[in-house]
Amino acid sequence: MSQPSPPPLLRSLQRLRGAFWRRRAALWLVRAVWLALLVPTLFMAGYLWLGWQPVWYYWLSPMLLVGFLALLWALRPIRLKKMAGRLDRRLGLRARLITAFEVGQAAQRTNQADNLVAQRLLQESVNILIDLRRHIRTLGRGFWLELQALIAVAALLAALLMLDALTPQLPNATVVELPASWQEPKAEAVLPPDAELFPPPFAQEPQIQQIMSQEQTQQALEALADALRDQAVTRSIAEALDRGDLSGAAEGLRRLADQLGELSEQARGELGQAMQEAAESMGENAPGLTGPLQSGSNALEQNDVRAAQQALEALAEAIESAQDAPQESAQAQPESSGQPQENSGEPQPGEGQEEAQEGQNPADQPQEGQGSGAGSGEEGEGGDQPASEEERLGVEGQPLELESDPASEERVLQPAELDAEAGDETAEDSPFARQTTHTNGDLGPDPLAYPWQKRDVIRRYFTP
């Protein structure tokens, strides 16, 4: 069964209420947006110029609250009786609309026929409402004003954000005052003359290695292998020490140092105890090895992994240096013993040249002997006799006597005669021009003289 249609006055009031509600909802929706944006704009201005440091939820909560309240106010319902009373007051109708609304409600409840006065009042009220609804616009002047306010607030917020982005962010650091006058430091102040730049972790290690003998080193390594044999992580190092592979043992210690942080506390404790036992078994015979062992044991007891790793690295270097020390001593011994043999077995370069010169000039020996004899007589009682040929040479063998042919001396030209016969053909820088070193003919022929007939052949040979 269809419901009866409402009276014309009530229908006109409902349509007018819908128009009012749509206009108010659009206006308050825009207003809610710019009111919500106004909250972060104010906080941003305080941040830039007042030094505020707000947390994000300080401005986000008021922003959401203002927007939500504005929407609730925009969507609130409109009652017909209250709307009719407000229209009477604003339009100056002297309660005509509210009276017509009450008369219509009473006639609808009692179902009585209206009189002529009531019908006229209702008809005039309907005409007023229809005419009023035609003048109502959803997007009126108020809406455009609210939209302009929204654009202005959004532009202001964007400008503040851009200003903050372009402002250089200086670090919050305290100001340090520079000294009044700076003077360049001297070399002695920066680097002392006897400064030790990189001191070794164990300064006594080189001296100890020089004092330790090979037997002491072997005993110390055996004690170290016995101490490390019972641990699973160090068994390979002990086996390398048993084989004499010191480089492999050093490499194993370095690997153990790298993996020390991954071991459990129990394993590190057992390793520290083993290192302490090894140091005690060595005693004072090998301080170069006991130093790293004691340092590593103390570091593991204090759970200082970094110091323990350094101690293992130092122990590996000490083992490698113990390997190099016997080799250096073994190399030094043959060198020291072989040097006299080489000196005794090989002749000196000067002796070989003297021997060759003496062998080529046998004719000079008698004359030199005469000169030396005369010289010894003049020098007096020096007592130093010239050494014989067998004493001068450090080799075994019989001396060879060479005899010269007297006939060949007649065909050999002397340097003075050669230079005189050459005349202008021989220059001073020529390889054939020789100056006379002995003008006395009693000394014998010049061993460097050459036959005159072979002059051109020898010249072509030495000419480049």
CA distance 456 to 411: 16
Does the residue 259 lie in any domain? yes
Is pLDDT of 442 > 70? no
Asked whether residue 158 falls in the same domain as residue 65, the answer is yes
CA distance 164 to 126: 59
Is pLDDT of 93 > 70? yes
Does the residue 187 lie in any domain? no
Contact 163, 48 (CB under 8 A): yes
Please identify, among 143, 165, 187, the residue that sits at the C-terminal boundary of a domain.
165
Asked whether residue 20 falls in the same domain as residue 154, the answer is yes
Mean pLDDT for the stretch of residues 41-65: 82
Query: What are the φ/ψ torsions at residue 57 (nearest 5 degrees)?
Result: -80, -10
CA distance 249 to 243: 10
Is pLDDT of 52 > 70? yes
Asked whether residue 156 falls in the same domain as residue 276, the answer is no
Estimate to the nearest angstrom the gap between the alpha carbon of 44 and the chain centroid: 42
Q: Identify the CA nearest to 322 among candidates 399, 445, 222.
A: 222
Asked whether residue 95 falls in the same domain as residue 215, the answer is no
Handedness of CA 164, 168, 170, 175 (dihedral sign): negative
pLDDT grade for 133, boundaries at 50, 70 and 90 = confident
Would you list the DSSP string of 168-200? ---------PPPSS--PPPHHHHS-TT--SS--
Please provide the average confidence, as pLDDT, over all residues in the chain.
69
Please identify, among 141, 165, 189, the residue that sits at the C-terminal boundary of a domain.
165
Contact 295, 200 (CB under 8 A): no
Is the model more confident about 224 or about 344?
A: 224
Is pLDDT of 151 > 70? yes
Model pLDDT for residues 369-393, shown as the tens digit of each residue: 344 333 333 444 444 444 444 444 4
Asked whether residue 39 falls in the same domain as residue 136, the answer is yes
Asked whether residue 109 falls in the same domain as residue 28, the answer is yes
Does the residue 276 lie in any domain? yes
Asked whether residue 153 falls in the same domain as residue 212, the answer is no
pLDDT grade for 366, boundaries at 50, 70 and 90 = very low
Please identify, among 283, 312, 332, the residue that sits at the C-terminal boundary of a domain.
332
Mean pLDDT for the stretch of residues 134-160: 84
Is pLDDT of 170 > 70? no
The two tokens of residue 11 are 């229908």
CA distance 113 to 414: 180
What pLDDT is attached to residue 191? 67
What pLDDT is attached to residue 68? 84
What pLDDT is attached to residue 430? 44
Does the residue 451 lie in any domain? yes
Asked whether residue 14 falls in the same domain as residue 159, the answer is yes
Asked whether residue 14 falls in the same domain as residue 81, the answer is yes
Task: Give the chain's domain count.
Answer: 3
Asked whether residue 158 falls in the same domain as residue 216, the answer is no
Contact 271, 231 (CB under 8 A): yes
Q: Identify the CA nearest to 389 among candidates 368, 412, 419.
A: 368
Does the residue 325 lie in any domain? yes
Residue entry with tokens 């062992």: 293
CA distance 439 to 214: 71
Task: Find the range with the poorest average confidence among 31-40, 144-153, 258-267, 280-289.
Answer: 280-289
Structural domain harbouring 459: 410-438+446-464
CA distance 434 to 414: 10
Does the residue 351 lie in any domain? no
Model pLDDT for residues 291-306, shown as the tens digit of each residue: 888 888 888 888 888 8
Tell me if residue 229 falls in helix, strand or coil.
coil
What pLDDT is attached to residue 368? 41
Mean pLDDT for the stretch of residues 32-57: 83
Asked whether residue 139 falls in the same domain as residue 229, the answer is no
Does the residue 367 lie in any domain? no
Number of Cβ within 10 Å of residue 154's Cβ equals 15
Is the model more confident about 142 or about 434?
A: 142
Mean pLDDT for the stretch of residues 206-218: 60
Asked whether residue 216 falls in the same domain as residue 288, the answer is yes
What pLDDT is attached to residue 385? 46
What pLDDT is attached to residue 193? 58
What pLDDT is attached to residue 267? 83
Q: Which amino acid is at 349?
A: P
Does the residue 121 lie in any domain? yes
Highest average pLDDT, of 36-40, 75-79, 360-364, 446-450, comes from 36-40
pTM of the entire structure?
Answer: 0.30
Is pLDDT of 367 > 60? no
What pLDDT is attached to residue 156? 92
